[in-house]
Structure 1
C-alpha cells in the first residue's frame, strides 16, 4: 500500500510544485502505459509476472490519481481567485467573523476572519488604520464592516520572501483595509479570554511577550530587540509553536498518565492486568490537540500535530512500521488536510526535521544511564541544528554559528522548566497572585541568560551572512577532505578539485563586463541596483514603515545577498519616505558605502559626475544646492555605458521637467524610469518625446491609493509607442546590456511562472 501511496504523493507534488495543469501528452503517455500494463496483466499466465504487472499498473494508476488531485486543487484555487476578483478595488459592506486574536499596533489593528457569501467562504486579513479609541475587536465577534479589498500579493524579487505564496499557503483569500465597522454579535473565543487574562497579569519582565507566544502562539508582544537576539542565536524556533512543543506536551502527558493511571486501581492484580498504554496514548494525543487549539490551529501548528498524531496512532495500534513509511503517511495526511502545504517553507522544514529525527533513531543506539532524557534531547537538538543548516541558510539568509551550543543550553530550560510552569500558570489564571508568581518563576532562567545571549547576538563573528558562506564552506570542505582516512594523494586530489570547482563556479561573476540594472519590486516606493563585476550601485532605498521594518530589510538586503553583490556607491533622490526609508539600515550593514543625495553630506546638484566600474553617471538636476527635500528637487541622474543610457528622474513633476528641457539637459535615454511612479503630475508629452526611451519602467505598488500610473500617462506612452514594464505586474525588472544591445525581463512574472504566482 505504501508504494501506491508514494506514487500518489509523487503525482500530486509533481503537479502542485510544477505549478501548472498536466499536459495532454503526459496524460496520454500514462494512459498508454497503464493500458499496456493491463493488457499484459490480462494475457500473462505466469504468477511471478502477474505480481509485477499488478504492481506496475497500481503505481501508474496511483500516479495518475495524484496528478488529477493536484489538477483539481489548482482549478479550485483559480476559481476562488476569479470569484473574488470582482470585489477588489471598490468599497463594500460585509459581515465579518473574527477568528484570530486581533493584532494591535501603534497605528492600526489587524483582523483575520471569515466572510461568508451566498456561495463561498472567504478568509480575509484586514487592517484598520486609525480606528476609534472605543473600538476593541475580539476573536469570536461578528462585525459589519465597510472595507476595500485587494489581491493577496506582495513583492517579488530574487532572494526575497514571497508573501503571496505564504498567504496562499495560509489560505488567505484577500487583504484589505477597514473604513468603519459596528459589532453585530459579541461572542468571545476561549483563546481570546485566556489572552486577556494573561495580559492582565501586567508582568514587569522584559520577556513578558514570551508568555503569549509559548501558550497561544501570539508573538505580537515580542520586542524587535528580542527577535534580533532569538534569530542571531538560533533560538527563534523556540517561540514558534511547532513539533518540538507538541512532542514535549505529548511526551509529558504520556509519562504522567503512565504514572497516575495505576493509582486508580486498588489491587496490584488489577494494575497488572490493566493495559494502560492505549489510554495513556489517547490522553497524550488529546492533550497535544488541546495545545494546538490554544495555538489557534495555525497552519504550522496543525501540520506538526498531524505528524505527532500519526506517530502516536502507530504506537496505539502496535504496528511495526519503518520510519520512512511513518514519514510518508504523516506527510500524505498533512497534504490531505492542507492541500497547499507543499508551497510553504515550513512544510519542508517539518519534513526535514522529522526525517532527521527518524534517521538519527535508526542509525544511533539509544542513550542509557543517568539523565537519559536530557542527554537524548541534547543529541536531538544538536543533530537537528546541523542537519537543517543548509535549509536555514538558503531560506533565512544566514547562520548562527553557535546555534548548536545555545540550543543545548536553552532548549532544556524551555522544555523542562519554562513551558510546564507556564501551563500551570494558565490553569491557575483565576487566581491572579498564583498565576503571576508562576509566570515570573517560569521566565526567571531566561531573564538570567538574556544579557549573555544579547551580547552573543551582537557579536558579528558568530553570525555567518549568506554573502560570506562560500569562503567558509570552502574552508570546511578542504578540512573535511584533508582529514579523510584515505591515501595522501587521494586527499590532495580532493582538495585540488574542491578549490578548483569553487573558483570555476564563483569567480567568473567578478569578471562579467555586462551591466545589469535591477528595478526592485518594493511596492509603493523606489529602489534600483546597478550590477557589474560583482559590485553594486544603489539608487533609492524604498520605504520605512511606521510600525517597524523596512523594504531595505525585506527586499534590498536579501537581493544583494542572493546576487553576492558588494555595494560601493549609493544615491538617495529625495527625502520622501518611500525613497530614503532604508538609508539607515543599509548604512549600518555597509559602513564603507559612499552616499550622495538627500539626507547625506553630499546633496545632489547639477554638474556632479563620476565613473563607477566603467559606467558614467551624471547629475542633471537640481540646478541649485539644497537638501533634495521636495519632489521637484529630486536628483535626476543619467547612467551611461557606451551607447546605452538609463535616466532616473526621482519624483520630479512637470515644473522640473520644463526646467530640464529649457536647460537643454542631455535627457535622451534608452530606458526611462517614469518620474513619480507614473503620476499624472509628471511625464509630460514633450518630456517623453525628448527622452525618447525604448522602454519605460514603472516602480509602484499594486492597488496604491494614488491611482498610479495615471491613465493619461499610459495613453501618452501608448501613443508614442514606448514599451512599458511595471513592477506591480510581475515584480522585479532586470535589464541586461553590453553597452550596445539590451534585453529586459521580469524573472518572477506570472505569465511565465506557476499558477500560484499569477497576478490578480
Structure 2
C-alpha cells in the first residue's frame, strides 16, 4: 500500500482535497462549491500537466460514486412509503424519556426514525429492559421532517439524512411484538452494545455510569443533560466524543497484550481488523471512531501523516457515504487533518500537549463557530487539563471496572465522579461567557481557513502574519457585527420573542418565550425537557453574533413570554430588564428576577427606548396593573421606513384604551396581540391603526388553535397581509435605509 502511494504521480493529499471539494459539490451543490472544485481541478492540471491525466480515471470514478449515491438518496427521499406494518427495531437506539419512546428501525430495506407515546408504566418498563432483537407490528403515520423553523436553526431532517433516514414514523398503536431471528452479525453486535448499556445502568450509580457509557460506548442519556450543557458551555464536550483517545487506548492495549503473548506482528495486524469492526459497532458506529480505526489500520501498513489522512478519507467515503455531511464528521476529520499537518515532535511532555491544544483550537476555530457560533477561550486550558484526567485516569479506570463488573461490582469510586462534577460546576460558575462570533457564510469560512493556513506557513514572517491576523479579525468582526438593522420575530413555538438590532450593535429583545405545561401526569410519564430557548431563541441570537442583550423587555408575566428568562441569562449577557409596574406585583416573578441578578427598570407610558437612530415609545400601560394580558407593555416607533407596533398579549380592553389615548396611530407592521386570539385584534382597533401587515407568533398545531379564524378574517377584510410563525417560521426584516422581508419557509 505504501509503495503504491509513493508511486502516485501526484501527492495523494492533493487528490484527497480535490475529492473533498467534489464531495461537497455533489452533496451540497452551490456556486461556491462548484467554483472551488473547478479551481482545484484546474490547479492540479496546471501544476502536474500530463501526470494529472494518469489520475483522471480515479477522479471520474469517485465523482461517479458520489453522484450515483446522491441520486439514489434523492430517489429514496422521493419514494416515501405510504404505510408500514412491521418494524425491525435497532436495539441500541432505544431512548425513553417519561412516556416518550423513540428508536430507529428498519423495514423493507429502509431505515426510519420512530416515535411512540407509551400507554402504561408496564410498557415503559418493557422497553427499558428490552435486550432482544424484536419485530414490532404497528399502526403508524409516516411523515417527513418539517425542517428548521428559525434562520440558521438546527435541521433535524438534515441530521437524519446523514444516517440515511428520510422519514419519521409516528406509532399510534403497537399491535404485537415478536422476537426475530437474525443472521446479520451487525445486529448481534448492536444488541451486545444494548446489553452492555443496560448492564452498566443496573450495576453502577450516577454520575459514574454516565461517564462509563459515554467514554466506553459513546452513549449519553437524557439524565446527563444538565452536565452535558455545562461541558458544552465550557467548550469541552468533545472529551466525550469517541475518537483517537479511546481508539488509541484500546488498540494499543490489545496489541501490547497479543504481542506479549508471543504473537507475530503480522498476525496482530490481521487480528486488529475484526477487533476494529467489533469496537466500532460497540460504540454505535461513530464517525470519529471509524475514522480513528481506519487511520490505525493504515498506520500499521506503513502509511503516516498526510498519506494516511488522504487514504483514510477515501476509505471512509466508501464505508460511510454521508460521513462528512454532519458537524461531528467534519470536526473529527478537521482535528485529524490538523494533527497530521502540525509538527510538534520537537516539543515534549506537557508543553507539547498545551501547544498542540492551542494550535488545534485556533485551526479548528472557523468550523467551530460555523456550527456552534461561539468559542470559549478557557477551553484551551480546560482541554489540556481534563484530557489528561480523562485519558490517563478515567478511561483506564472505567475500562477495568467494566471488565470486572460481571464478577464484582466496584462502585465505591463514585465519589471521584461526584468530585469531578463539582469542580466542573465551580469552573462554569466562575468562568466568563464564551466569545460569540456568529455564523460565517461559506465564503467567509473558506477564506478564514486560507488565511489561517497562510499564517501557519509563513509563521516566521512577522509582518505578513500580522497583516493576515488583521484580516482574520476583520472577517470575524463582520460576521459578529454585520452592519445592518433587523427586526426578527423568532419562532419560539407557542410564545413570543422579538429581536431588534441596529447597525451599531444595539440590541433590544421583547420577551423570551417559554413553555406552558397543563398536563397533570403521573411520575413515570414526566419527561425531562430542555427549555424552548435552548433550541430556538439562544441558537438564533448566537448565530447572529449576539452575546449580549442591552435591554430585555418582558411585556407581562405569562409563561409563554417570560418562561425562559433565567435560561437566557445563563447563555447571553443581559444589560437590563424592563418591566411594567404591574409585573412587580407578582411575587413569583420578582423572585425570579432576583435569581437572574440583573438590573431591573420599570417602564410605563411616556418612556422611550433608543435604537436604529430612532425611538421606541412606550404607549402602555398607564398605571400599575396586575401583570396580565391587558397590562402588557406596548411599544411603538418608526424604524427605518416603517411604523412598528408591538402589543404583547394585549386584548380588546387594552386596545380600546390605546384608541382613546392615541387618536392618531399610523401602523405599517402590527405584532398581533395574544398570538392572534379572537379576544385580541378587535375590529375597532384594526380600523384605528390601519396596518398593512400583521405578524402572528403562534406554535405549530398549538392546543389553543391560535391564530383564531375570526382574527384572520378581520385581517383579510381589511386587506391586511398576515404572516405566522406556525406557517412561515421566523419572520425577519433586514435593511439599511428600508426593509427587506424574509421568512424561513
TM-score range with shorter-chain normalisation? 0.7 to 0.9
Q: What is aligned with 2:193?
A: 191
Instruction: Tell whether the 8 Å contact from 1:285 to 1:312 is kept in structure 2 after alignment.
Output: no
Q: Secondary structure at the match of 2:308?
A: helix
For 1:610-621, list aligned pairs within 5 A: 610-613=608-611, 614-620=613-619
Alignment check: 8 A CA contact 1:621 1:635 kept: yes
Range with greater deviation from structure 2 (350-359 or 572-581) = 572-581
1:305 aligns with 2:289: yes
Change (3 A) 1:185 1:683: farther
- Of the candidates 480, 489, 501, which is equivalent to residue 519 of structure 1? 489
2:500 to 501, 523, 530: 530
Deviation at 1:417, TM superposition (A): 3.7
Q: What is the rounded CA distance, in whole Å, between the counterparts of 1:636 and 1:124 in structure 2?
A: 44
Could you say which residue in structure 2 is the equivalent of 1:261? 262
Q: Is the 8 A contact 1:216 1:295 kept in 2?
A: yes
Structure 2 residue matching 1:100: 3-state secondary structure:
helix
Q: Deviation of residue 517 (structure 1)?
A: 0.6
How far apart, in 2, do the equivalents of 1:609 and 1:340 lie? Answer: 55
CA displacement 1:62-83 (0-9 Å, x = unmatched): 6566555545445444444444
Preserved contact between residue 649 and residue 673 of structure 2 (Cα < 8 Å): yes
TM-score by length of 2: 0.75
Report the CA distance shift for 1:252/1:744 in structure 2 as closer, same or farther (over 3 A): same
Q: Deviations over 1:418-471 (max 9, x none)?
A: 32343333334432xx1x21x544x5655555444433332225x54226999x
Please show how residues 346-495 of structure 1 align to structure 2 within 5 Å.
Answer: 346-360=328-342, 363-365=343-345, 384-385=360-361, 387-431=363-407, 434=408, 436-437=409-410, 439-441=411-413, 446-461=417-432, 464-466=434-436
**CA distance in structure 2 between the partners assigned to 1:406 and 1:670 by the alignment:** 51
Contact kept, 8 Å, 2:438 with 2:543, in 1: the verdict is no
Inter-partner Cα distance in structure 1 for 2:717 and 2:76: 37
1:508-587 to structure 2, matched below 5 A, reads 515-532=485-502, 533-544=504-515, 547-565=528-546, 566-587=548-569
Task: Provide, for residues 369-401 of structure 1, a one-character-per-residue CA deviation record: whole Å limited to 9, x for no partner.
Answer: xxx8x9987776565445434433443344443
Is the aligned partner of 1:291 residue 2:251? Answer: no
Displacement, 1:539?
Answer: 0.8
Report the Cα offset of residue 344 of structure 1.
Answer: 1.4
Alignment correspondent of 1:266: none
Separation in structure 2 between the aligned mates of residue 66 and residue 359 of structure 1, nearest angstrom: 24
C-alpha deviations, 1:17-51, integer Å up to 9, x for none?
A: 2269999x999x99xx9xxx9xxxxxxxxxxx9x9
Q: In terms of mean alpha carbon deviation, does 524-533 or 575-584 score higher?
A: 575-584
Shift of 1:534: 0.8
CA positional deviation for 1:607: 3.0
1:43 alignment partner in structure 2: none
How far is the alpha carbon of 1:170 from its aligned partner? Answer: 3.3
TM-score normalised over the length of structure 1: 0.74
Given that 2:494 and 2:515 are in contact with CA atoms closer than 8 Å, whether structure 1 keeps it comes out as no
Give the whole-Å Cα distance in 1 for the aligned partners of 2:712 and 2:299: 65
Q: Deviations over 1:650-685 (max 9, x none)?
A: 345566656656776655421123444445665566
Instruction: Give a deviation string over 1:684-731, Cα, whole Å, max 9, x none.
Output: 666545443333334344455555555665566556544444445564
Q: Indicate if the aligned counterparts of 2:16 and 2:313 stay in contact, CA closer than 8 A.
A: no
- How big is each residue's C-alpha offset from its partner over 1:542-562, in whole Å with a ceiling of 9 and x where there is no partner? 225973432333443344344
Question: 1:124-163 to 2 correspondence within 5 Å?
Answer: 124-126=113-115, 128=117, 132=121, 134-136=123-125, 137=127, 138=130, 140-146=133-139, 150-153=143-146, 155-157=148-150, 160-163=153-156
Q: Is the 8 A contact 1:604 1:628 kept in 2?
A: no
- 1:735 is displaced (CA, Å) by 0.9
Distance 1:507 1:312 in 2: 41
Mapped to 2, the partners of 1:341 and 1:689 lie a distance apart of 56
Task: Give the 3 Å change call, closer, same or farther, for CA 115–313 of structure 1 in structure 2.
Answer: closer
Q: Is residue 18 of structure 1 aligned with residue 10 of structure 2?
A: no
Is 2:338 the counterpart of 1:338? no
1:735 maps to 2:728: no
The match for 2:586 is: none
The alpha-carbon distance between structure 1 residues 378 and 186, as it changes in their structure 2 partners (threshold 3 A), is: farther
| Unaligned segments of structure 1, at least 5 residues | 38-48, 263-275, 751-760
What's the secondary structure of 2:427's corresponding residue?
helix
Task: Specify the alignment match of 2:161 in structure 1.
Answer: 168
Query: Which stretches in structure 2 are left out of the alignment for 5+ residues?
Result: 1-7, 181-187, 441-447, 517-526, 584-588, 594-599
Residues 568 and 375 (structure 1 numbering): CA distance in 2 closer, same or farther, change over 3 Å? Answer: closer
The 8 Å contact of residues 605 and 621 in structure 1, kept in 2 or not, is answered as no
Structure 1 residues 619 and 708, CA gap change in structure 2 (3 angstroms): same
Within 2, Cα distance between the matches of 1:642 and 1:387?
A: 40
Range with bigger deviation, 576-585 or 641-650: 641-650
Secondary structure, in 3 states, of the residue corresponding to 1:123?
Answer: strand
CA gap of 1:229–1:687, structure 2 versus 1, over 3 A, is closer
Is the contact between residue 736 and residue 744 of structure 1 (CA under 8 Å) also seen in structure 2? yes
Distance 1:624 1:450, change over 3 A: closer
Q: What displacement does 1:511 show?
A: 12
Find the structure with the greater CA-based Rg: 1
Q: Per-residue displacement from partner, 1:178-237 (whole Å, max 9, x unpaired)?
A: 55535512579333332222222252x544321222233221155455335533554322
How many pairs does the alignment contain?
A: 674
Structure 2 CA distance for partners of 1:661 and 1:382, relative to 1, 3 Å: closer
Question: The residue matched to 1:219 in structure 2 has which SS?
Answer: coil
Q: 1:495-553 deviations in whole A, cap 9, x for unaligned? A: 699779968985999896x6421122333432111112211111110225973432333
**Corresponding residue to 1:327 among 304, 309, 334:** 309
